[in-house]
A and B are shown apart, each in its own frame.
Chain A
Amino acid sequence: MKAKVYVTLKSGVLDPQGQAVGRTLGKLGYEGVKGVRIGKFVEIELEVDDPKLAEEQVTKMCDELIANTVMENYRVEID
């Protein structure tokens, strides 16, 4: 199975990178960009077949390693 993990900054946590990109988009003439926040996308290939088990495993991986839960949220999708 394949798991897709979207890691995003928790709301309220400063995203200097997103801010800098937002400002540059403005300078390039893209008006109306209200905000930019940048996250990570992670694909994980798993040997298990049970979607529930897969989600459990990946959730554990996220808590332990993939996301920094002090400042990041994550969302797991299983295909």
Chain B
Amino acid sequence: MAHHFGVIRFPGSNCDDDALHIVDTVLADRGSTGEFLWHKETSLGQVDALVVPGGFSYGDYLRAGAMAAHAPIMEAVIAFAKSGGPVVGICNGFQILCEAGLLEGALTRNESLRFICKDIFCRIEGRPTPFSKSLPAGRHVGMPIAHAEGCYRHPDVERLEGESQVIFRYCDAEGGVTAEANPNGSINNIAGICNAAGNVVGLMPHPERACETVLGAGGVAGLALFESVLETLSSGATR
């Protein structure tokens, strides 16, 4: 069954090509297609799922994601999310979804105060979401991170944990959730979360950079995230 992804393009998005490459080329044989959606649009057209990609929307000036959250297209994104459509925000996309109020919490400067680009591991946890279904909870996978503002903060993290909204948690190569394995100082090693309804997911790691063996990372763990959405859509489980 064919499924169509919209990849939102803000001024300063720079992982937009990467995301489109996965949903439109790498997964083409699985019936996946994709297109860019320009930030000045007010309608999404016919899409089955949305990717808010990484980058530096509006230069990340003021606060990462702050200005993109007010872009014209965001009203349509919010409506799509409220109606149960699957939305994933990757890196800057996660920051934008938090600023737009679709996800809880905020992302602040890394504890080291430096940009960090490297491979990390994270454990799959929490409730099943359209983006993590084919990744069994408790497993851990390798993905790269590349961000300066990925330190997750939440005023009531116990509730978030209690509701099983933490979906990805930084861990070491053996799956242990340790302080050393936390690359940016995020509370409880949180790398990714979902909203209360479970259809909106945000994560700092870059699954779209871990889909092809030829690339330096070598792993393909990220592919499962996109495959999850395709499976979810095929089963008609959303909307």
Q: Which A residues have a C-beta under 8 Å from some C-beta of B?
A: 16-17, 20-21, 24, 27-28, 38
Q: Is B70's CB within 8 Å of the partner chain A?
A: yes
Residues of A within 8 A of B59 (CB): 16-17, 20
| Interface band, chain B | under 10
Distance, CA A20 to CA B62, complexed state (A): 9
Q: Is B36's CB within 8 Å of the partner chain A?
A: no
Residues of B within 8 A of A38 (CB): 62
Distance, CA A28 to CA B70, complexed state (A): 8
Contact with A along B34-71 (1 / 0, CB 8 A): 00000000000000000000000011011000010010
Q: Are B58 and A20 in contact (CB under 8 A)?
A: yes
Nearest chain-A residue to B67 (Cβ)? A24
Distance, CA A46 to CA B40, complexed state (A): 50
What is the interface of chain A mostly: helix, strand, loop, or mixed? helix
The 6 closest A-B pairs by CB, nearest first: A17-B61, A20-B61, A24-B67, A20-B58, A21-B62, A20-B59
Distance, CA A28 to CA B74, complexed state (A): 13
User: Separation in Å of the A65 CB from the closest CB of chain B?
Assistant: 15
Distance, CA A27 to CA B58, complexed state (A): 13
Residues of B within 8 A of A17 (CB): 59, 61-62
Residues of A within 8 A of B62 (CB): 17, 20-21, 38
Distance, CA A16 to CA B58, complexed state (A): 10
User: Separation in Å of the B23 CB from the closest CB of chain A?
Assistant: 29
Q: Are B70 and A16 in contact (CB under 8 A)?
A: no
Residues of B within 8 A of A24 (CB): 58, 67, 70
Residues of B within 8 A of A20 (CB): 58-59, 61-62, 67
Distance, CA A17 to CA B61, complexed state (A): 5
Q: Are A27 and B61 in contact (CB under 8 A)?
A: no
17 contacts between A and B (CB under 8 A): A16-B59, A16-B61, A17-B59, A17-B61, A17-B62, A20-B58, A20-B59, A20-B62, A20-B67, A21-B61, A21-B62, A21-B67, A24-B58, A24-B67, A24-B70, A27-B70, A28-B70
User: Separation in Å of the B92 CB from the closest CB of chain A?
Assistant: 14
Nearest chain-B residue to A20 (Cβ)? B61
Distance, CA A20 to CA B70, complexed state (A): 13
Distance, CA A54 to CA B129, complexed state (A): 57
Distance, CA A17 to CA B70, complexed state (A): 16
